[in-house]
Amino acid sequence: MMTYQGSCHCGRIRFEVDADLDHARACDCSFCRKRGALVHRVPPGRFRLLSDTSELALYEFHSRTAKHYFCSTCGVFPFHRPRTAPDVCGVNVRCLEGVDVAAIAVRQVHGSRLA
């Protein structure tokens, strides 16, 4: 397990996460397909938001269970609380510093099949 630093494009949203990046998830739901994020889930204690929450914007849709956070300045999506596991944090691996995204196994997730 390693500690990774992460941020949005403009740097207003900063966080760190303790993770074993053995895989990332690519979801096929309507929202994830369009945003193109690769997500790795971690338990709540392994994610730490370093920025003030006032810099975050929230997007919810459908059941409003999932909480999709993005930077209110640059619009980049750094993390979310997934609908199927709202207690964990889904971190956008593309926002982590020093990570070779091409070297991480990608698991396909079929969020489009959720009712």
Q: How many domains does the chain have?
A: 1
pLDDT in tens, 55-114: 999 998 878 888 999 999 999 999 999 888 888 999 999 999 999 999 999 999 887 887
The most distant pair of C-alpha atoms in the chain lies apart, rounded to whole Å, by: 37
Tokens of 39: 């997500």
pLDDT tens for 77-91 read 999 998 888 889 999
CB burial of residue 20 (10 Å; 0-12, 13-18, 19+)? exposed
Q: Is the pLDDT of residue 115 over 80?
A: no
> Which range marks the domain in which residue 108 is found?
2-113
Query: CATH number for the domain including 64?
Result: 2.170.150.70
What was the pLDDT predicted at 79?
96
The pTM of the full predicted model, rounded to 2 decimals, is: 0.90
